[in-house]
Structure 1
Amino acid sequence: MHARTIITRTLRVPRSPAAAGDGAAVARQMDAVLAGAGFKATGDLLEHVSGLQPGAAMDLAVDVVAAVRELVGDHVAHNAYFRDFPHGVPDTVEFWVSCLRDALVAPHARGSAAAPTDAELLAALDQRLVGLLDLPRYGRSQHTYTELLAAHDELIPSVKDRVTLVRLGGTLAEETTALYRALAESTTPLGEADLQLLADLADTCGEVELDGVPVRENRAVLNAAGLAAGRPLLAVDTVLDVLRVACQASGGDVSLAEPTKFRSFTRRERRALMAALDRVVTSGEGKLGDVARFANRFKRLGEGLHPHEFDQFPHAAEVFEVARGRAVTSLAGWAELAFARGDHAAAANILTDAPGMLMRSLDRLLRHADAPARDAVFEAMTQVLGKVSGRVLCSVREHLANRAAPDAARVFTTRTRRAWVTDDTRPPLPGEVITQACVMIDAELIARLPRRERLVADPAVLSVALPLSGKATEDGFAVLPRGSRSRIEGEVLRFFTHWCQARQRTDFDLSALLLDAEFRYAGQVSWTNYRDGGAVYSGDLRQALAPDGATEFIDLPLGSVDATYVVPQVNVYSGEGFDEVAESMFGWMTRDHDQAGAPFEARTVRTRSDMRGTGRVALPAVFARGEDGTWTATWLHLYLSGHPNFNRVEENRVSTAVLARGLLQRDYLTVGHLVELMRAAGTEVTAWEPGTELDGPVTFLGMHAPETLPDGTEVITSDRLNQLIPA
């Protein structure tokens, strides 16, 4: 694995094995460049670079600088359409008229009595006699990046500017193994990028001994690598586990959300897959109940495995018989029959054989059951609590905390981060029922949490939502899970989107929906309205050619914005989608009014998130002003389906407002909740304050770790919060 990947993922720099020498000058240069991007090398990293032969020191420094610059989006030139942005942005209509006049009226005729009026030029647009997007001046930068920089004063440093530490790690092999273990042993599902990284690492780290792989998708990725290498399949206990392995080995979707075209398997691989299916079905015929859900895929898999060639695996052949129509009632089917009879106690009893399914059905069971049946449901819950993953327990705990009253809007999200909204017609659960269930879940979580003697927690991390799935977030820098809230520091908030097209001209449009305190429409900023409520748009760019692509900004002076909620969105107007372009990102910067600087300044970037969803409208986050005037950001990581082309903020403002309201009014299970459970379990919990001297090893929990911590300290930062969730 390349060292740059390790640095990007962990902000830890693998030690170079190069010969010793005098690299002090390189170390000083590296530290200066890092400071310009908002990073700082720790003392031991500078010492390591200083002790290397100059050529090797330079190679390592180049990797470090390139990795961190790409992490915050500073690897390209961000050239805004209007050179003087946020100043000098014209009125929208006036700008359109000027573009029309430049294109349609000869220079010598301008200002003459025969020249068309502004109204006549705009009428040509209304009548579609000419297209605004085809005008020479529209949507194409009229200046170079160098000219843009020359038009802006240099950024004035501020104590509020971000400083992120870059640390020295172990050898490349040690760091690679540590990253492999962290991904493989994760107690929560990984995002798409992490799954791909795990697959890459599994080819080289497949022999590394693991403590356990609790997530089935991760297990399938490792088993697919083992299948190719001739290693036995491990911890396969459902027919879907085998299907996942086959999908991963064929380059398909291990989550089973999308169909996979299976490749041709070797005879050795076919034997291994058939043997695994045979072992699963031999352990209980009830395992066949999962086949019908993916019957077509099992049919296709059977065509490639040739079951008739393996008479020694008769139970495996039953899988394909069921896929072709043999009737088998699944456990879920038996439970549905009990629900249909209104026998909720029986339904709960049936589901004790599927602990995860019972917990996910808990709301439905408690909602419809009468008092005696509820006692039976709680009894069934008692039987299965110890068999359910910690992630599911936390997810159900969060769900129950929001069931005392109907939601303002019921929001559904998919694994691909697509969202849709409907009315919440469910009757609320009684308070005493919620309390009883939550107490039982909390007691189980307390019993599972690792025993830590002393925990030092940064207060900023306590409001972060627990990362119950990597699919509820995106890759990037300082990116938090959906529902996480963080305070916005600074006088000006500037958010941006950057994209680089891959094969065809692609036009993304950054927009902002402005809402009042009741989530009612209060205005919008976009390519059709450059200014509103104090917000300013940087101008519309209509293509994003490599290498620098295109970047659009919206400037938000926080003290004068005429809105309570600001919902940024990125619309695909034409061309490739978020998952098709070469690069696609969203992020924000903060600065004070007197800091000046270019539209994009790396050390003012607070966060940068990839956008890789399948919808045509991205909703990365929402910014909200509190009653005391402070602003917070809440991560959404959601996508709306939108239209194939020509998406605009005006067209989805109602659905976006309803979605934002539903998510902002939801209570998320946070890191702070688990910290309180640790306190209840006997852990000494203290709040971290900058400059605090610790007198011995502790567990440190924070957004970022300080530079100096006692030897032996366990560090859990914002990118590793899933380590808090018990297996």
Structure 2
Amino acid sequence: MPSPIGKLPRRLGMVPADVPSGVAALEFELLQLGFLMSAELYRALAGLDMTELTRVGRRLLHCLREEVGANATHVPLFRKFPDSVPADTLDFYVRRVFSLLLQDPARPCVLCGENGTVRPVSPCAHLVCRTCWDGADFSACPICHRRIDLDDPFLRPSERSVSLHRDAVTTTVLLGSCPDPGAACRELATAMLARRTPMPAHERAELEILLEACWPAALSWLPETIPVKETRAVVLAQALRRGAGELLPRHAGTATDVLRVLSTLMGGDPGLRIRPERRTSLPRAVRRAVLACLDGMPYLLEDLLRHREAWKHMAEVLHPHEQHARFPGAALAFAALRGTRLDPGTAFGRALLARAAGHPELEVRDGRVRATTFASRVETALADGRPADAAALLSHRPGEFLRRLSHLLRVTYARGGGGGDGARATASPLESLEGAVRRVAPGVLLAALGQIRTPPGGTRLFLPRGGTARFRTLPDRRPALPDEVVLEAERVLAGELLRRAAELPPLRRALLDEGLADLVAPTSERTAGAALVRLARGSTQPIPRAERIRFFLHWAEPPGTRVDLDLSVAVFDEDWRFAGLCDYTHLRLGKGLVHSGDLTSAPEPLGASEFIDVDVRALPARYLVPVVFSYNDVPFEELPRGFAGFMEQPEGLFDPLAVRQKFDLAGPAKILVPLVADLWTRTMRWTDLNLSAAGYGHNVAGSADEVAALGAAMESAFTGRVTLWEVACWHAAARAADVVVRRRDGSLCRYERRPGEDVEGFAARLAARAAAQPFEGPFEGLSEGLSEGHPGGTDLAVLVSGDVALPGAQVYALHPYGLGAARLLDAADLLSVLAPAPAAVTTRH
């Protein structure tokens, strides 16, 4: 079986050593994409025969071209873009309308008056004058902008030549050799299974590839516990397909875990945000395994009620009442869920009524079983003004307690009034907090910390559960927490993470980048899209300093369905008032924005591409927001391929080396806002959010208010979030006595733990970026000893740019250029190692 490593070159940063390569030619092709062979990979591939070179070289290049978007042929509407884009969009539109309404092939052209120049184009059959419309510039019908047949006489070769030659390659990713693909797959899968924060959908798909390709050997990779519920569902669904149903009761602790598995089996979302399109019949063995697992769960009915409608649908597949004698607990729970009337005159009714009598939380009314749930008791306590009772209840479920901590503290403080008894009342949730934090995943701790220290005021941003991640905003009118309450909660939460970090292996030295303060720690990546540069939502990065930035969009439509996507840019002033746009209705906005033209169809093999050039210096407004619209309401998930991104100072129309960000268009969304750029501070914030969409004709004109609301909300919504800088400081302070920090200006400084200084004090000094002594020595010397008292090199580096060789070190780098033999980490890996000890984890969190 071919190794799955060939499908994941970017994730691993290496290719199998036993694959062939023509070396020189392949190396040149890789350089044009921004990838460089390491010395060991070059040696391993040298001398292999040409047949194998062709096979594997093509596969490798295809994967890497796909990473940067160079796998598609990019042909915009105006092939001479940006030079040939009309200066007056209205005049261009009027000429199209006149041609559509008045053109006649037997008469002179209504625009130029020439005879014999008007002919139809295929397949739209619009009448096009060969004199008025330049077939060497247009790549589609000038009237409707739909693609036309590539052999249509209207299309003529463009005299414009495009060169992708560069004098020097400035940005490369180093590809290493992989002598043991099986071991590399195992290492990657093991790391993914151990992650403590949810993965985005595309990474779960990668895990499925690894498990499927390596089954049944993959069974030995499974840890004792799989922390993330969605990851667990992917593994258990694979196990059920392969007849390993014994794994289900071992790893599924709740009915919701089982529902995730069933949803995955039916092609749905393991995060339960999207219901499967249709229920799939399950084999009898799978149904028995599922019912047996459910039958032994102590909180079964309560868990079923969490997803009432989904379980009602699943009951039609599981048929729990058919096996009520074998699985009476499951049968009773489903009877209560569905409101089944239990007739004491039947064996089925008598058996379930007798079982219900043994559960005090259940009662029978009118022959139907009713339950009082844990959630209802918590909500009743809060509604009755008893936050201390609610906190006491939630303390038995640490994960739920931490998720409600901010609300509990604010309710407690608001009812206490802020003094005397109020201060005493706030102590109740904090007293429970000390015990709860020991048993909760690090992502939940970080989310709670961010919520508590985010001050009220401004705008709250809500991201409801759902595949399109639609948002809504509200003014933040929550009561403010007293400073002492915030500080105490922060002390407990951060202290627990520092305690866990201190239990990890010590480090000789840690290297940190101050720029990590711009990156939000990824507490959850469930709705994150696949992107070349993986940023957590809310993170900021500098706008490229080149004179020209080019946004790009490419898509292809499925057979029989026309798909019209639009790349647009909306511009706003400092108060988020609409100040202009660049889209198919305004191809130019002053000298700052130029659109390549609107393509309204994207048939294979060419697909369609749109571009917008941005001259940041020529834009007088403050905010710039790119948006991708599905004009005719086709969701992105139906596209055979679709992606967007931006380039910095490209050479030619599409330059792989100039690509700075590229992200896939996926899911049921129809309007995507990837980022918000602030031209005054020259920063852009990663949003990766979808706007609400209904009907037909989505464009900036209909969504400007919503785009402005999103942009205004992003700043305040992420003010208090935990950053990767803080996470890195916790690791460094707890594990190393010697820390080197690279400042934003590129200078280096060095922190050492002072005699008698505790971990909390050292961490606070690092996080605050207090004054420190300069680092003596070159940046390249970080892999060596600093001085006689500090032997060895850097063991852990958390960086924005991986532009230093750190052989053997564990390295996270947002831009992992040239790291060579370093062991690369994901941002989520920095949190996964801060998981609680297995004995401390509860099954319900």
Give the alignment's TM-score, normalised by structure 1.
0.88
Deviations 1:206-256 (A, max 9, x none): 313334410011112211222233321222221211222222223333222
- Counterparts of 1:513-592 in structure 2, within 5 Å, are 513-533=570-590, 534-574=592-632, 576-591=634-649
Give the Å deviation of 1:452: 4.3
The correspondence for 2:796, drawn from 685, 699, 724, is 699
Higher deviation after alignment, 259-268 or 165-174: 259-268
With over 3 angstroms needed to count, the CA separation of the structure-2 counterparts of 1:564 and 1:539, relative to structure 1, is: same
Higher deviation after alignment, 355-364 or 169-178: 169-178
Does residue 1:491 correspond to 2:547, yes or no? yes
Give the Å deviation of 1:165: 2.2
2:430 is paired with a residue whose SS is: helix
Distance in 1 (alpha carbons) for counterparts of 2:209 and 2:704: 41
2:739 is paired with a residue whose SS is: strand
What residue in structure 2 maps to residue 320 of structure 1? 334
Distance in 1 (alpha carbons) for counterparts of 2:674 and 2:158: 28
- Counterparts of 1:714-725 in structure 2, within 5 Å, are 714-718=810-814, 720-725=826-831
What residue in structure 2 maps to residue 278 of structure 1? 295
What residue in structure 1 maps to residue 219 of structure 2? 207
Opposite residue 623 of structure 2, the aligned amino acid is: Y
Does residue 1:501 correspond to 2:503, yes or no? no
1:208 is paired with a residue whose SS is: helix
What residue in structure 2 maps to residue 358 of structure 1? 401
With over 3 angstroms needed to count, the CA separation of the structure-2 counterparts of 1:291 and 1:575, relative to structure 1, is: closer
Work out whether residues 274 and 305 of structure 1, in 8 Å CA contact, stay in contact via their aligned partners in 2. yes
What residue in structure 2 maps to residue 5 of structure 1? 7
Give the Å deviation of 1:313: 3.3
What residue in structure 2 maps to residue 382 of structure 1? 434
- Counterparts of 1:32-51 in structure 2, within 5 Å, are 32-51=28-47
Higher deviation after alignment, 249-258 or 640-649: 249-258
Distance in 1 (alpha carbons) for counterparts of 2:157 and 2:70: 16
What residue in structure 2 maps to residue 243 of structure 1? 259
Give the Å deviation of 1:523: 0.9
Opposite residue 465 of structure 1, the aligned amino acid is: V
Distance in 2 (alpha carbons) for counterparts of 1:141 and 1:245: 43
Distance in 1 (alpha carbons) for counterparts of 2:638 and 2:373: 38
Deviations 1:426-477 (A, max 9, x none): 2333333222212211111111223441222344444222122222421131
What residue in structure 2 maps to residue 73 of structure 1? 69
Deviations 1:614-643 (A, max 9, x none): 23211111111234xxx2221111111223
Higher deviation after alignment, 453-462 or 7-16: 453-462
What residue in structure 1 maps to residue 753 of structure 2? none
Distance in 1 (alpha carbons) for counterparts of 2:394 and 2:676: 39
- Counterparts of 1:558-707 in structure 2, within 5 Å, are 558-574=616-632, 576-591=634-649, 597-627=651-681, 631-665=682-716, 666-667=718-719, 668-683=721-736, 684-687=738-741, 691-695=780-784, 696=793, 698-703=795-800, 705-706=802-803
Percent identical among aligned pairs is: 28
With over 3 angstroms needed to count, the CA separation of the structure-2 counterparts of 1:702 and 1:149, relative to structure 1, is: farther
Work out whether residues 460 and 475 of structure 2, in 8 Å CA contact, stay in contact via their aligned partners in 1. yes
- Counterparts of 1:176-215 in structure 2, within 5 Å, are 176-203=185-212, 204-205=214-215, 206-211=218-223, 212-215=225-228
1:154 is paired with a residue whose SS is: coil
Opposite residue 680 of structure 1, the aligned amino acid is: A
Opposite residue 89 of structure 1, the aligned amino acid is: V
With over 3 angstroms needed to count, the CA separation of the structure-2 counterparts of 1:226 and 1:153, relative to structure 1, is: closer
What residue in structure 1 maps to residue 283 of structure 2? 266
Distance in 1 (alpha carbons) for counterparts of 2:258 and 2:464: 26
Work out whether residues 616 and 644 of structure 1, in 8 Å CA contact, stay in contact via their aligned partners in 2. no
Work out whether residues 81 and 142 of structure 1, in 8 Å CA contact, stay in contact via their aligned partners in 2. no
Structure 2: stretches of 5+ with no match in the other structure: 115-139, 340-368, 417-421, 747-778, 785-792, 815-824, 836-845
Give the Å deviation of 1:68: 0.9
Deviations 1:25-53 (A, max 9, x none): x1111111111122222222222211433
> Highest Rg: 1 or 2?
2
With over 3 angstroms needed to count, the CA separation of the structure-2 counterparts of 1:259 and 1:395, relative to structure 1, is: same
Higher deviation after alignment, 657-666 or 341-350: 657-666
2:25 is paired with a residue whose SS is: helix
The correspondence for 1:63, drawn from 59, 63, 69, is 59
Opposite residue 477 of structure 1, the aligned amino acid is: L
The correspondence for 2:306, drawn from 293, 313, 324, is 293
Give the Å deviation of 1:153: 5.5
What residue in structure 2 maps to residue 15 of structure 1? 17
Higher deviation after alignment, 257-266 or 44-53: 257-266
Higher deviation after alignment, 199-208 or 609-618: 199-208
Opposite residue 362 of structure 1, the aligned amino acid is: L
Distance in 2 (alpha carbons) for counterparts of 1:652 and 1:509: 13
- Counterparts of 1:415-494 in structure 2, within 5 Å, are 415-416=466-467, 417-449=469-501, 450-453=504-507, 454-489=509-544, 490-494=546-550
The correspondence for 1:169, drawn from 178, 182, 185, is 178
With over 3 angstroms needed to count, the CA separation of the structure-2 counterparts of 1:330 and 1:159, relative to structure 1, is: farther
Distance in 1 (alpha carbons) for counterparts of 2:60 and 2:110: 57
With over 3 angstroms needed to count, the CA separation of the structure-2 counterparts of 1:229 and 1:83, relative to structure 1, is: closer
Give the Å deviation of 1:497: 1.3
Work out whether residues 6 and 175 of structure 1, in 8 Å CA contact, stay in contact via their aligned partners in 2. no
Distance in 1 (alpha carbons) for counterparts of 2:722 and 2:336: 40
Higher deviation after alignment, 412-421 or 499-508: 412-421
Distance in 1 (alpha carbons) for counterparts of 2:695 and 2:179: 48
Give the Å deviation of 1:329: 1.7
Work out whether residues 140 and 542 of structure 1, in 8 Å CA contact, stay in contact via their aligned partners in 2. yes
With over 3 angstroms needed to count, the CA separation of the structure-2 counterparts of 1:691 and 1:626, relative to structure 1, is: farther
Distance in 2 (alpha carbons) for counterparts of 1:460 and 1:674: 13
Distance in 1 (alpha carbons) for counterparts of 2:159 and 2:489: 62
Give the Å deviation of 1:173: 1.6
With over 3 angstroms needed to count, the CA separation of the structure-2 counterparts of 1:515 and 1:300, relative to structure 1, is: closer
2:637 is paired with a residue whose SS is: coil
Opposite residue 94 of structure 2, the aligned amino acid is: V
What residue in structure 2 maps to residue 125 of structure 1? none
Does residue 1:89 correspond to 2:81, yes or no? no
1:207 is paired with a residue whose SS is: helix
Distance in 2 (alpha carbons) for counterparts of 1:483 and 1:158: 36
Work out whether residues 246 and 262 of structure 1, in 8 Å CA contact, stay in contact via their aligned partners in 2. no
Distance in 2 (alpha carbons) for counterparts of 1:50 and 1:165: 17
Distance in 2 (alpha carbons) for counterparts of 1:624 and 1:97: 35
Give the alignment's TM-score, normalised by structure 2.
0.77
With over 3 angstroms needed to count, the CA separation of the structure-2 counterparts of 1:278 and 1:418, relative to structure 1, is: same
With over 3 angstroms needed to count, the CA separation of the structure-2 counterparts of 1:351 and 1:88, relative to structure 1, is: same
Aligned residues: 688
Distance in 2 (alpha carbons) for counterparts of 1:445 and 1:324: 43
Deviations 1:254-311 (A, max 9, x none): 2222334443333332232122112222xxxx44312212233333433433434363
Deviations 1:406-438 (A, max 9, x none): 233534343422222233332333333222212
Work out whether residues 406 and 427 of structure 1, in 8 Å CA contact, stay in contact via their aligned partners in 2. no
Work out whether residues 39 and 165 of structure 1, in 8 Å CA contact, stay in contact via their aligned partners in 2. yes
Opposite residue 95 of structure 2, the aligned amino acid is: S
- Counterparts of 1:107-122 in structure 2, within 5 Å, are 107=108, 110=111
What residue in structure 2 maps to residue 407 of structure 1? 458
